Structure 1
Amino acid sequence: MPGVPAILAGPVDLHLHTRRSDGDESPAEVARRCLAAGLRVASVTDHNTMAGIAEFTGTVGRSMTVVPGSEVTARWRGEEVHCLAYFIDPADRRFQRQLQRIHDADLDWWRAWAERVRHIGVPLTWEDIAQRIGGDRIAYPGDYLALLAEAARDDPRFAEYGPTEHERLATDWCRPGRPLHVPEPWMPDIMDVLSWIADAGGVAVLAHPARVLDVSDSAQCRALLEPLVAAGLAGLEVWTSWHTPAESAGLARICASLGMAATAGSDYHGVRVKSWVAAPGRLPSLPPEPMAVLDALCDRRPTPLKPEAEL
C-alpha cells in the first residue's frame, strides 16, 4: 500500500533503512543521501538489527548527530506493530540477542515459504534466494515475490501476473488458505519489547501509529496508549511518510495530552522500494520545531537497571 506523498524536506530523520534489513542501499549510501539532503540529525533503524550503524556513522563523521536505533517487531492487540528503539548501545549483548531472536523467527518464516514454493513445483530454492538477496538478510517482501515471479515465468499458473504485481500475487497465493501461506512468525508482546528497550537504556517510540490507531478518535487512542506509556513507551512517530498532515496534527495533540515525545521519520527505504520517499528527510508535513524532536527524546532517556557486566 503506498504511503502519503512526501514533499517537504526537514533537517531531522529518525527512521531510515539500509540493506542490512529491507532497504535498497548500503548504510554508506544512505549516509551520503542524508548528507546531500542537509540532515542535521539521523537514525538508521533497520528491522531487528543494529548492524548498519557503524558504517553509517563512519561515513557521516561529525557532519550530523547520529542516534543509534532499531525498528523492533512486536505484537499488540493481535496486530504486528513496530517500536523504534533509540539510544541503545549496539554493543549491548543482551539487547542484540533479543533482536536476533526476532530476526531468526522471520528468517525461518521465509525458509518455510521457500519450501512451499518448491513444493508447488516452482524451481526456486532457498539457495537461489540466499544468493540473490543474502542468506541472513530479511529483505523487502516484494523482492521475494519478484524472485517467485521470475522463477515461474514459464508456469501457466502465474502467467497472469505482471513483473511488478506483487500485491496481487501475494493476495492470490500467500493469504490464509492459499498454497503459499505460512503462519505468522513469532513476535514478542509489545510489553516485553518496551521492557527490553528500557533495560538497555533506550527510548521507545511507536512507529507510524496511524496504521494501527484511529486517530480521529483521540479519546480511544489515549485510552489504548496509556498502559503502554506506563510500561515505558516514550513517544509516537507523528511526522512520517505514512501519515497525512491531518493525522500528524491529531497525533501531536495526543502526544501533548499524554506527555509523550513527538518524533519525525521518513521511513526511507530507497526509491525502488518506496518510491514516494525520494530522499531522507522528505515528509508530508514537518514538526513546528524540528530540532526540538531530538531534545524531547533525550529528555526521556531512562537509566538502565544495572550495567550489562553485572547481569
Structure 2
Amino acid sequence: MRGASATLATPVDLHLHTRHSDGDETPAELARRCIDAGLRVAAVTDHNTVAGISAFEQAVGGRLTVVPACEVTATWRGEETHCLAYFVDPHDLRFQKRIGGVHDAELAWWRTWTDRAQATGVPLTWDDVVLRLGGHRVAYVGDYLALLLEAAHGDPRFAEYTTETYDELVADWCRPGRPLHVEHPEKPDVVDVLSWIEEAGGVAVLAHPSQFVTGLNGSECVALLEPLREAGLAGLEVWTSWHTPADSGHLADVCDLLGLVATAGSDYHGVRVKPWAPLPGLLPALPADPLAVIDALHDRRPVRTSTEAGL
C-alpha cells in the first residue's frame, strides 16, 4: 500500500526523517514540527545514518523524549526491506561503520547514475547534484529525477516527462536495459542487520511490513516471520501511514501471535516528499496505548557488557 490517509494524532512517532537522509527538514525544523504537533516521544530514523540525532535532541531541549534510532536498508526474500533500529548507541563506531557502508554504496550509485546521464547527453554533473542536494546525503529519489529533467530542458527525448510522471521516467530510462540503468549495490541480508542492531544495544523493528504479509493468514505470517524473530527481530511497525486500518489490525494480531512489539510511526519526510504523511504523529489508526509501546521496546534492549559498549 503506498500511503494511507493519515487523520488521527498520536503522542508517539517512531519514524521520522530529516535532511541527513531523504527528508526535507533539518533536525531543528523537524523538532519544531514535533513539538507543535504535541508529541511526547519521537525518533529520528534517517536512512543508514545517526548523524541527525544529536542536533534533534539539542533542538528539542527536553520538551519531549527522544529515542535514538535509524532506518537500515537490507534485503529479505530477494526484496529491499528496512529495519528500524531503536535505542542504538549513536556513538558505537562499529555500528556507524556498518551502516555507513550501506549509505556510501547508495551515494556512489547516485554518482554513477549521474555520470550515466551525462554520457547520454544530459548536461547534469555531480557538482550540480552536490550544490543542490548536498554532497554526503542520499536525498529523495524525486529530487535526483527533478535535476535530470531540469538539466534536460529542451531535449525532446525528455519533453513528455513532468514531476507527475516520475514512474514513467524511471520505467523508460532507468529499468534494466534502459540508458540510465545502473545495477544497484548489494544490500546486507536482513539477518546480518538484525545482529548489527543488537550488537549496538538496539531493538530491531521491521518497517511498514504489510507488503510481505498481504494475503497471508495468521499461521502463514508466523511461519514467515518466525526465523526473523529467532534472529533478533523484536517488533513490527504496525501503525503507519503506509498501512490501512485493516492492515494494522492484521499486523497487530500477528504481533500477538509471535510475541513481537507493535510500534507506531508516520514515516514523515516533510510536507512535500510524502504528502500522505503531512505531519509528525498523524496516522490512519492508532495503538490503544501509544506510550506503552516505548516501554515494551525498552524492555527488549539487550544487556551489553562494557566491552560491547566500547567502554
| TM norm structure 1 | 0.97
- CA drift at 1:214: 2.0
Which runs of structure 2 are paired with 1:1-311 in the superposition (5 Å)?
2-214=2-214, 216-304=216-304, 307-308=307-308
Q: Deviations over 1:248-306 (max 9, x none)?
A: 00000000110100000000000110111111000000001111110110111111365
Structure 2: distance between partners of 1:96 and 1:198: 13
The alignment partner of 1:212 has SS state of helix
Change beyond 3 A, Cα 1:95–1:122 = same
State the Cα RMSD in Å: 1.3
Change beyond 3 A, Cα 1:174–1:114 = same
Contact preservation (8 Å) 1:12, 1:41: yes
5+ residue gaps in structure 2? none
Structure 2: distance between partners of 1:201 and 1:215: 34
The letter of the residue matching 2:165 is: E
Deviates more, 1:213-222 or 1:238-247: 213-222
Deviates more, 1:297-306 or 1:251-260: 297-306
The alignment partner of 1:75 has SS state of strand
The letter of the residue matching 1:129 is: V
- CA drift at 1:309: 6.7
The alignment partner of 2:213 has SS state of coil
- CA drift at 1:2: 4.0
- CA drift at 1:61: 1.4
Change beyond 3 A, Cα 1:95–1:224 = same
The letter of the residue matching 2:123 is: P
Contact preservation (8 Å) 1:270, 1:278: yes
5+ residue gaps in structure 1? none
Percent identity of equivalent pairs:
65
Structure 1: distance between partners of 2:217 and 2:170: 32
Count the aligned residue pairs.
311
Change beyond 3 A, Cα 1:39–1:215 = farther
Change beyond 3 A, Cα 1:300–1:122 = same
Q: Deviations over 1:63-122 (max 9, x none)?
A: 111000000000001000000001011111000000110001101110110111011000
Contact preservation (8 Å) 1:146, 1:164: no
Structure 2: distance between partners of 1:141 and 1:112: 14
The letter of the residue matching 1:265 is: G
- CA drift at 1:135: 1.0
The alignment partner of 1:247 has SS state of helix
